[in-house]
Amino acid sequence: MPKLAIQEALLPGASVAEKMSTAAELGFEGVEVPAADLDERLDEIYHALQAQGLAASGVNLGTASGWLAADRAARADATDSLRRALTCALDLEAEYVTFVPHYGDTDLPDLTPFASAMELQKELLIWLLRGVSDLAEAMDAKLAIKPLTSGETSFVTCLDDAAFFLRQVDNHPNIAIAANSYCLAAQEQDMAASLAAHGPALSVMYLVDDNRRLPGQGTLPFANLARALRSSDFSGWLVLAGECDTVADLAGCLDYLRRSKVI
């Protein structure tokens, strides 16, 4: 059965302890935390989660980038940040680390006929995944590739794109996919069919409506999404994301998700 989590940024509270308390009161099983400055917050987050009986669902690298940059030093720094995120995931006993391979347009050169910029991007990502897959296994966490919309990236914009890279690393058990319902609605011709096809490879499904707000505040048919996930035997984390104003919004969203049989 899928487990329900929420991104830390959506939780109100003046302290980490207050935020985790709110998450527990609302009935979440876990909280996803951002990778930025996580090293400095590890103890506080871990103890706050433990106090409420919550799990750290995963670590999210957010808008971090640079893995496919033209500059070698930038690629090395980005890879180090990914390794640190995996180490933090181990310390928090989190199940996954989500990352976006590349934001925006590439700065790689077009070396046609040797290789186009897109081909270079693909090769760099394959090498990255090969280099960190064993580390992810050692840290007992899955590294999840998150596709974005074509307005946000020129690279990896659908579940098929992400699945291609899983095949390039022989479907390593610690390399997975992170799906976002907002991005799926924008990019997939048939969101339900795509989820049903790729569900077993998903470690996390981000629940965001088509206006980037909480589920139920837009027009996405989350009941259809839920049926597709069930048909694929998805057993990862459902993570509540999107824009949120109040605790009442969160409670209303959870009621909507229950009525839609998402949770």
Please give the average per-residue pLDDT across 26-34, as a whole number. Answer: 98
Q: Tokens for 40?
A: 């400095």
Is 124:75 a contact under the CB 8 Å cutoff?
yes
Is 46:19 a contact under the CB 8 Å cutoff?
no
Write down the domain spans for the chain.
3-259
Nearest to 257 by CA among 242, 238, 236: 238
pLDDT digits (tens, 9 = 90+) for 181-223: 999 999 999 998 999 999 999 999 999 999 999 999 999 999 9
Report how far residue 157's alpha carbon sits from residue 148's, in angstroms, rounded to the nearest whole number: 5
Report how far residue 197's alpha carbon sits from residue 203's, in angstroms, rounded to the nearest whole number: 14
Report how far residue 256's alpha carbon sits from residue 208's, in angstroms, rounded to the nearest whole number: 13
Q: What is the mean pLDDT of the chain?
A: 96
CATH tag for 3-259 (out of 1.20.1300.10, 3.40.1640.10, 3.40.309.10, 3.20.20.150): 3.20.20.150
Say which residue the tokens 């669902």 belong to.
57
Is 163:195 a contact under the CB 8 Å cutoff?
no
Residue 1 has pLDDT above 90, yes or no: no
